[in-house]
Amino acid sequence: MRRFNFTMPHSLFISDLHLCAKQPRSTEVFMHFMRHTAPDADALYVLGDLFESWAGDDDLDDPFHQQIIRAMRALAESGTRLLVMHGNRDLLMGKALEQASGAILLPDPTLLDLYGTPTLLTHGDTLCTDDAAYQDYRRQVHETAWQRQFLNQPLAQRKAFIEQLRARSETEKQQKNSSLMEVNDAAVSNLLREHNYPRLIHGHTHRPMHILHHLDGHTCERWVLGDWGRNANALRCGRGGCEYISVTPARSSPA
Ligand code: MN
């Protein structure tokens, strides 16, 4: 396993935190991470589903959102670049959130030169092509007209709709064959080919793993980020390569 000195320049990647007022533990871990781990990085990339839900930027004043946004702004102002990609849960994050938090919203996918290695970032839901029903839903909610119509509804109504959707998706997740929620190999290959065989980093599936794809004579690394449900983790990448790090602080009191 390649090891490198993490006092050297590095960037951090996280996704699927699903932050919400109902999950104080994840919020606590996030606050600790933003204060103690993230400031040493050149950049922090959040690859989708930072929030469990985002009804629209007119919900910025919510006290829970304000708490998260203050931590984001503090990091951005400390000199660590903060780059945030939409997930399926927080698709409606927009300009006002960007301005309030100091974060820059990234298009999905984004190709970057990461310390000399071409690296492609995506949330990962577009790779789950076996789930046709989900892909239909995704196409619909990505339409500008759909989003405009949705955002025209009162905030309370939007929140109620999202809550219904969330409950339904929980039920469906239990009924769906788990392979439906995994990435499709051909979709991964197509994406890698399309971007000239980069390293790939994504989230969404909540199953952290490091895989090598041998494709057309190239070897592409794929790093999958884990969710922050039980064991919060981050991926740290520098010139020497990438490595998972645990970001769960010791509990202040035994549970
Ligand atoms: Mn997701």
Q: What is the pLDDT of residues 66-94, one digit of tens each?
A: 999 999 999 999 999 999 999 999 999 99
* CB contact set of 154 (below 8 Å; sequence gap of 6+): none
143/64 Cα distance (integer angstroms): 28
* Domain boundaries of the chain, sorted by first residue: 10-128+185-246
Interval between CA 206 and ligand 1 midpoint (Å) = 8
243/4 Cα distance (integer angstroms): 9
Interval between CA 42 and ligand 1 midpoint (Å) = 25
Residue 189 is encoded by which pair of tokens? 């290959």
Whether the predicted pLDDT of 253 surpasses 60: no
Fold of 10-128+185-246: Purple Acid Phosphatase; chain A, domain 2 (3.60.21)
Interval between CA 137 and ligand 1 midpoint (Å) = 13
Region 183-189: mean pLDDT is 97
Closest CA to 71 of 113, 34, 108, 45: 34
For the chain, the first-to-last Cα distance in angstroms comes to 34
Average pLDDT, the chain: 93
Whether the predicted pLDDT of 194 surpasses 50: yes
CB 236 within 8 A of CB 225: no
Interval between CA 122 and ligand 1 midpoint (Å) = 10
Q: How many CB atoms lie within 10 A of CB 199?
A: 19
Whether the predicted pLDDT of 129 surpasses 80: yes
CB 9 within 8 A of CB 239: yes
User: What angle separates helix 24-36 from helix 63-78, to the nearest 10 degrees?
Assistant: 20
Question: Which stretch of DSSP H or E encloses residue 219?
Answer: strand 218-224
- Provide the pLDDT for residue 254: 47
pTM exceeds 0.85 for this model? yes
Whether the predicted pLDDT of 5 surpasses 60: no
Interval between CA 45 and ligand 1 midpoint (Å) = 15
Lowest mean pLDDT among 96-105, 143-152, 166-175: 166-175
- Residues counted in the chain: 255
- Provide the pLDDT for residue 198: 98
Interval between CA 244 and ligand 1 midpoint (Å) = 19
Interval between CA 199 and ligand 1 midpoint (Å) = 20
Interval between CA 87 and ligand 1 midpoint (Å) = 5
- Provide the pLDDT for residue 6: 55
- Provide the pLDDT for residue 172: 81
Under the banding of pLDDT at 50, 70 and 90, the label for residue 1 is very low
19/138 Cα distance (integer angstroms): 21
Whether the predicted pLDDT of 135 surpasses 90: yes
Higher pLDDT, 8 or 152: 152
Interval between CA 254 and ligand 1 midpoint (Å) = 31
